[in-house]
Amino acid sequence: MTDKLNAHLRLGLLLLVTGLIAHSAAADGNAERGKSIAYTCLGCHGIEGYRNAYPSYRVPKLGGQKAAYLTIALQGYRNGTRQHPTMSAQAASLSDQDIADTTSYLASLGADTVAAGGTSGASFAAAAACAACHGQNGISLSPSWPSLAGQYEDYLVHALNQYRDGTRKDPVMAPMAATLTDDSVRQIAKYFAGLEGLETTAAE
Residues lying near ligand HEC in the complex (CB under 6 A) are found at 8-9, 12, 40-41, 43-45, 52, 59-60, 62, 70, 72-74, 76, 82, 84, 86-87, 90, 102, 129-130, 132-134, 145-146, 148, 156, 158-160, 168, 170, 172-173, 176, 188
Measured from the CB atom, the residue of 9 and 20 that comes closer to ligand HEC is 9
Contact yes or no for 111/198 (Cβ under 8 A): no
Residue nearest to ligand HEC (CB): 12
Measured from the CB atom, the residue of 116 and 178 that comes closer to ligand HEC is 178
- Nearest approach, Cβ of residue 117 and ligand HEC (Å): 16
Measured from the CB atom, the residue of 23 and 84 that comes closer to ligand HEC is 84
- Nearest approach, Cβ of residue 34 and ligand HEC (Å): 9
Report the 10 Å Cβ neighbour count for 171: 10
Whole-number Å distance between alpha carbons of 169 and 181: 18
Whole-number Å distance between alpha carbons of 148 and 142: 12
Close Cβ partners of 162 (under 8 Å, ≥ 6 residues apart) = 168
Measured from the CB atom, the residue of 102 and 137 that comes closer to ligand HEC is 102
Whole-number Å distance between alpha carbons of 159 and 180: 13
- Nearest approach, Cβ of residue 112 and ligand HEC (Å): 19
Please, what is the end-to-end C-alpha distance for the chain in angstroms? 47
- Nearest approach, Cβ of residue 81 and ligand HEC (Å): 7
Contact yes or no for 107/73 (Cβ under 8 A): no
Contact yes or no for 50/155 (Cβ under 8 A): no
- Nearest approach, Cβ of residue 119 and ligand HEC (Å): 20
| Residue whose C-alpha is closest to residue 173's, from 48, 69, 42 | 69
Measured from the CB atom, the residue of 12 and 110 that comes closer to ligand HEC is 12
- Nearest approach, Cβ of residue 12 and ligand HEC (Å): 3
Measured from the CB atom, the residue of 87 and 100 that comes closer to ligand HEC is 87
Whole-number Å distance between alpha carbons of 152 and 199: 9
